[in-house]
Amino acid sequence: MAGKLLSVDEVLRLSRIASLRAEPGGKLAFTVSRPDPESNKDVAELVVLGQAGVEASYAEAGSPAWGPEGRLAFSSRRGAGEKEKGSGVYTLPPGLRGEPRRVAWLRHGVWGLEWLDDERLVAGSSVPEGWMYDDDGDYVATRRLPLWFDGQGLVAGRTRQLFLLEEWSGRTVKLTSEPYGVSSYAACDGNIYYATPMDWRNPTAHRVKLITRGGEERTVAEDLHVSSIACHARGTAIALAHKGEIGIASHNRLYLLTPDGHECLSCGSLDRNIWGASSDGDTIYMIVASGGRTPVYAFEPDRSGLRKEYEDDIVARAIAAYRGGVALIASSPTVPPEVYRLEGGALHKATSYNSWISEYSLSKPRKITIESMGDTVEGWSSCLPRERRGGRGCL
């Protein structure tokens, strides 16, 4: 019997999985959201997944961050009044026992969260410029808007900055005052690496800075187009970046960031665009674009170098490494995104939020080659199953 065809309402039922983070022992934290047409907003929850299944979930939460001894931090508006602006930062003790404890409240929301050490966190939050806003800072006063635009497509007025949060006292200290804001960052064993645009006229070219354990600030890279930064080992970090050789189409490379500077790890060994990277403290795992797929590569800087870890008919969009494996948010042409574990060279599906879609007819794209007038063009073709085509052909 042929499967049903998807309607718009059923497409809206698809769960969206994001913000995947792994703790060293293999527990995962990620967000699951789906739109609610009645309230006209997304309904989201933070899920903690162990090897045996879901261990905990927290409504209206995001930005998960694993800390020392399996402690978890996240952002949430839980307990906030309808008119209360911003988001809170919450923490849970080892074992996720007890209720989340509010550490701080950031009036302009939270876009990133990292543990700096066992007592402090680094949060990313937007900072409005007072002259751009009305008296209570609620919205941009349009009569005051300037004529230039910032790198996020918004008209000036807000920059993304970093804040230091002390867990037990709740003390909040602004760490950065970058004129063009902070694009991405990672807190690694007391060191904070972050990327900031070098010039508003070219907002994708970044300067990478380091704030050391002792509070010293220095530049470790310049003129790198940085997509993401993540921790590696012993106070170092990895970045996905390129030097804009062919503009925005340039391939992301894997860079190592250290207090002494930066080094390209994948240059000369992997001529592919790297979509994501994560380290377990020794090995760096990467998802790499390759002919409509994203094979997983492993890189060991001090030992065997580069090797292909896994390849199949999947497209991974996020990766998080832990001791003994990696977690992926991945999909295939006929399977919507789910969380997977890759351990011992085998891929295992860890969630089934969108399994209901198996009732419907989905087509798998086929690679095609067309030759015409001496030229060869390669592409992809997709069509309905034969019984749904009414006798019509399909490339």
Looking at the structure, do residues 356 and 374 belong to the same domain, yes or no?
A: no
- Closest by CA to 350, choosing from 63, 54, 142, is 54
pLDDT, tens only, 98-140: 899 999 999 889 999 999 999 999 999 988 765 555 666 555 5
Per-residue pLDDT, 155 = 44
Residue 3, domain member (yes or no): no
How many helices (DSSP H) and strands (DSSP E) are in the chain? 1, 29
Give CA–CA dist 127/133, Å, rounded. 11
Per-residue pLDDT, 127 = 84
Which residues form the domain of 377? 364-395
Looking at the structure, do residues 384 and 271 belong to the same domain, yes or no?
A: no
Looking at the structure, do residues 124 and 208 belong to the same domain, yes or no?
A: yes
Helix (H, G, I), strand (E, B) or coil at 330: strand
Tell me the CATH number at 346.
2.120.10.60
pLDDT, tens only, 331-378: 987 889 999 999 999 999 999 999 888 877 676 677 788 888 888 887
Which residues are CB-neighbours of 353 under 8 A, at least 6 positions away? Answer: 15, 17, 32, 338
Looking at the structure, do residues 156 and 255 belong to the same domain, yes or no?
A: yes
Give CA–CA dist 175/165, Å, rounded. 10
Residue 103, domain member (yes or no): yes
Give CA–CA dist 169/150, Å, rounded. 35
Residue 2, domain member (yes or no): no
Give CA–CA dist 361/364, Å, rounded. 10
Q: Evaluate the CA torsion angle 217, 256, 230, 291 in order and state its sign.
A: positive
Per-residue pLDDT, 83 = 77
Helical H runs in the chain? 8-12
Looking at the structure, do residues 388 and 297 belong to the same domain, yes or no?
A: no
Looking at the structure, do residues 275 and 375 belong to the same domain, yes or no?
A: no
Residue 332, domain member (yes or no): yes
Looking at the structure, do residues 166 and 137 belong to the same domain, yes or no?
A: yes
pLDDT averaged over every residue in the chain: 87
Looking at the structure, do residues 238 and 382 belong to the same domain, yes or no?
A: no
Residue 1, domain member (yes or no): no
Structure tokens at 18: 């994001």
Domain count, the chain: 2
Report how far apart the first and last C-alpha atoms of the chain are (Å, whole number).
Answer: 24
Give CA–CA dist 230/253, Å, rounded. 14
Per-residue pLDDT, 147 = 44
Looking at the structure, do residues 285 and 328 belong to the same domain, yes or no?
A: yes
Give whole-number Cα distances, 250 to 2, 229, 244, 320, in Å.
43, 18, 6, 24
Residue 34, domain member (yes or no): yes
- pTM for this predicted structure: 0.87
Looking at the structure, do residues 263 and 338 belong to the same domain, yes or no?
A: yes
| Residue numbers of the chain with a pLDDT score lower than 50 | 1, 147-155
- Closest by CA to 165, choosing from 209, 207, 110, is 110
C-beta of residue 139 within 8 angstroms of C-beta of residue 125: no
Residue 153, domain member (yes or no): yes
- Closest by CA to 324, choosing from 28, 49, 26, is 26
Per-residue pLDDT, 268 = 85
Looking at the structure, do residues 310 and 372 belong to the same domain, yes or no?
A: no
Looking at the structure, do residues 247 and 382 belong to the same domain, yes or no?
A: no
Residue 273, domain member (yes or no): yes
Give CA–CA dist 307/286, Å, rounded. 10
Describe the strand order of the beta sheet including 217-231 as a list of residue ranges.
Answer: 184-188, 191-197, 206-211, 217-231, 237-242, 253-258, 261-264
Give CA–CA dist 31/21, Å, rounded. 10
Structure tokens at 27: 């527990």
Per-residue pLDDT, 154 = 43
